Amino acid sequence: MIASLFSLLTPALRFVDPETAHDLAIAALERAPLPACGNDDSRLAVSAFGLEFGNPVGIAAGFDKNARVPDALMRLGFGFVEVGGVTLKPQPGNPKPRVFRLASDQAVINRYGLNSDGAEKVVGRLAARVRKGILGINLGANKDSTDRIADYVELYRQFGNLTEFVTLNISSPNTPGLRDLQGRAFLDELLARVLECRVSNDSVARILLKIAPDVDDIQLDDIVDVARARGIDGMIVSNTTITRPDSLRDKALAKETGGLSGKPLFRPSTVMLAKTYQRVEGQFPLIGVGGIASGEDAVAKIAAGAHLVQLYSALVFRGPALIEEIKEAILRAMTRENASSVAELVGRGASVWAAA
């Protein structure tokens, strides 16, 4: 039903600016009486971070920034939902226009700047819901914060018992200086203080780290070394990129500042995923995100080292039918590779992707 509705609405939404179209989609999900999807094929089940996922397909942070529709998204068939990014204090983000749809490239550039209702409102929404399904929340620092690490610690304290996992987003390109937290010293202090908060508050939320696709090999070595030494639960690879590949067709919009997502991000983010997988050496699972636009793209992410995958930008162009397409592609890959579980596919192509 939802896929059919999207196919009817898509032509009209193309004449609406991207941020307005996104707001309309959230409003529709708030109001639509969506039936729950049927049970997933049991072969799609994944164990990761000490959690049991019905299927490995999730929606990435950025779609439901303020946790307005997490349960509606679950009913679309996602195996997990990540809301946010949420900042401690409300902030409006960057001036509009700040989202640009590159239709000919199946890509999006955004410079939202972590626009957020703030922790207090989002805590209220999550505390009021009946918990079901696996929910994560993406945390970010306020633009004007004088102690960004303290922001993350306080955010974890507030959300650590309201979600199954939290993501420390230190890789958004739209908050000045935020990516500096990917440096070894800053990152070590950040993880140490958040982990201490988890212990002191008896919190249960797993701690994940989301990184940029633009770090070099030396920076990646440092990030993974610290993550492993501190014993976090996992990593998400990757956020949007500030690079602009020469292959982009829409040369005018390509000049807009912000993070590029969608199809052009697939290759660099998958290479980064494979390199991360090799460095992690099985110590914790990874979530692969960036440029997934088809079922085979998701299968490639799993082969590169992802236990779970996330999408967002492709929904703008393909709609929710893509969710079931990905599940079917994974099942076909399992049959093709004579695998009895998704876990058996993880990392089979990591060496090829890492060398790409």
Which has more pLDDT, 330 or 15? 330
Could you say which DSSP state residue 182 is in?
G
Helix (H) / strand (E) element for 109: namely strand 107-110
| Mean pLDDT of the chain, nearest integer | 95
> What is the reported pLDDT for 177?
87
Q: Is 172 a catalytic residue?
A: yes
Q: Give the three-class secondary structure for 116.
A: strand
Of the chain, the percentage scoring pLDDT greater than 90 comes to 90
Beta bridge pairs of residue 136: 82, 165
The answer to whether the CB of 88 falls within 8 A of the CB of 70 is no
Helix (H) / strand (E) element for 237: namely strand 234-237
> What is the reported pLDDT for 188?
96
> What is the reported pLDDT for 180?
84
Domains and CATH numbers, the chain: 2-354 (3.20.20.70)
Rg (CA), the chain: 19
Beta bridge pairs of residue 234: 208
Q: How many residues does the chain have?
A: 356
262-286 pLDDT, tens digit each: 999 999 999 999 999 999 999 999 9
**Verdict on whether the full-model pTM lies above 0.75:** yes
Residue given tokens 């440092």 in the structure block: 222
Q: Tell me, what amino acid is at 82?
A: E
Could you say which DSSP state residue 91 is in?
B
3-51 pLDDT, tens digit each: 555 555 555 566 789 999 999 999 999 998 888 788 999 999 999 999 9
pLDDT at 82 over 80: yes
Q: What angle do CA 66, 56, 202 make, to 5 degrees?
A: 60
pLDDT at 100 over 90: yes
Q: What are phi and psi of 207, to 5 degrees?
A: -110, 115
pLDDT at 2 over 80: no
Cα 311 versus chain centre, distance: 7
Q: What are phi and psi of 80, to 5 degrees?
A: -165, 160
Could you say which DSSP state residue 216 is in?
-
The answer to whether the CB of 115 falls within 8 A of the CB of 61 is no
Catalytic residue among 145, 171, 172, 269: 172
Distance in angstroms between the alpha carbons of the first and the last residue of the chain: 40
Could you say which DSSP state residue 306 is in?
-
> What is the reported pLDDT for 115?
98
Nearest one of 248, 300, 269, 294 to 104, comparing CA atoms: 248
> What is the reported pLDDT for 14?
66
137-168 pLDDT, tens digit each: 999 999 999 999 999 999 999 999 999 999 99
> What is the reported pLDDT for 102?
97
Q: How far apart (Å, rounded) are the C-alpha atoms in residues 119 and 192? A: 22
Q: How far apart (Å, rounded) are the C-alpha atoms in residues 117 and 258? A: 21
> What is the reported pLDDT for 181?
81
pLDDT at 183 over 90: no
